Amino acid sequence: MSSSYDYLFKIVVLGEGAVGKTAIVTRFSHGFFRTDYKTTIGSQFAVKNVNIPRDAGDVTVKLQIWDVAGQSRFQILRPMYYRGSSGGLLVYDVTRRRTFIVLEEWLEELHKALNKEIPLVLVANKTDLPDRVVEPLEGRDFADRHGMPYIESSAKTGEGIIDIFSELAEILVVTREKGGNY
Ligand code: G3D
Ligand code: MG
């Protein structure tokens, strides 16, 4: 694993319990996933580099991905994990409407903790399952209203998983290049 990089970003993964947050991060990080020493209070992180193509050559982005526990009993601790994050994933399960409905609450919790908005990607997960109830149009509409990209994924088949992280890394690099302070 390369230790050199051009940018380092902390990413938080948000969404209800069992939407597939851990499965997405595990799939993306291919075994580099590890359990944090704070596992007992429900958080893990993974580290992975992503290369962003640029005219002057690839830019290497190191992502430190925090997989925060979704259960409500951890709610009081989550703001601590949000601190210092540059971007995030907002994940729902397309087979459970409730996980889509509560997205606004996740956004609110994040913004309250950070006192600012950060780039996010909306992730519609479990698209491999036949019993889908939240349609692509609904997800796209939510993403458009909040100015974030919409990506469909399956941690099971791998669909969309790389796209999620390269899209977010690209946005973060562009923001940083423009002089943003994320
Ligand atoms: P969480 O971290 O958001 O709480 P997990 O969710 O990653 O633990 O996933 C919850 C359950 O959903 C797991 O099932 C996991 O295997 C499954 N899952 C996650 N992503 C997908 C997906 O894209 N497709 C399908 N079919 N299943 C998925 P178990 O049974 O292990 O609890
Ligand atoms: Mg999990």
In this prediction, residues 74-90 reach a mean pLDDT of: 91
In this prediction, residues 58-87 reach a mean pLDDT of: 88
Secondary structure class of 94 (helix, strand, coil): coil
Q: Helical H runs in 33-160?
A: 78-82, 97-101, 103-114, 136-145
Which CATH superfamily groups domain 7-177? Answer: P-loop containing nucleotide triphosphate hydrolases (3.40.50.300)
Secondary structure letter of residue 52 according to DSSP: E
pLDDT tens sequence across 11-47: 999 999 899 998 899 889 864 434 444 444 566 788 9
Q: Where is average pLDDT lowest: 44-48, 96-100, 131-135?
A: 44-48
Q: Is 156 in the pocket of ligand 1 (CB under 6 A)?
A: yes
Residue 68's pLDDT band, with cuts at 50, 70 and 90, is confident
Nearest listed ligand to the Cα of residue 43: 2
pLDDT value at residue 181: 59
Domain boundaries, the chain: 7-177
155: Cα within 13 Å, side-chain hemisphere: 21
Under 8 Å between Cβ of 70 and 15: yes
Residue 154 CA: nearest ligand 1 atom is: 23
Ligand 1 pocket test, pick from 13, 21, 43, 132 with the greatest ligand atom count within 8 Å of Cβ, gives 21
How far apart, in whole angstroms, are the C-alpha atoms of residue 124 and residue 176? 26
Tell the residue nearest (CA) to atom 22 of ligand 1. 126
